Amino acid sequence: MARRNRKYAVPGVEQEMRAFKGAVMKGEGYAVNPNQPDDVKYEVAKELGVPLQPGYNGDLDTESVGHVGGKIGGAMVREMVRLAQEQLANKRQKE
């Protein structure tokens, strides 16, 4: 699977986002290599029964690959929302 060239709204956060993904997926119970947190997608794919492998995956349909990305992205979004809610609650307590 080719790595996409993502553009983040805040320049320079690429490494932090990969680390965040690793931390979130570790919290979800997956084994995450801290040096290569993007590789957790293979473990997620195996769990979902999607034959995702390093390299070419052009034979996989979009729906199958979307299930893998959705599981990872969904967990990340849930954690970001939780963190934002926590920050808002802390801010209100200080006022």
Domain map (residue ranges) of the chain: 14-94
**Cα–Cα distance, 40 to 53 (Å, whole number):** 12
Residue type, 75: A
CB contact set of 28 (below 8 Å; sequence gap of 6+) = 75
Q: Which amino acid is at 82?
A: R
pLDDT confidence band for 1 (50 / 70 / 90): very low
- Per-residue pLDDT tens for 10-59? 989 999 999 999 999 999 999 999 899 999 999 999 999 999 999 999 99
Q: In a 3-state reduction of DSSP, which class is residue 6? A: coil
User: What pLDDT score does 4 carry?
Assistant: 63
Record the pTM.
0.81
CA proximity to 55, closest of 67, 39, 66: 39
Statement: residue 82 has pLDDT above 70? yes
Q: Residue length, the chain?
A: 95
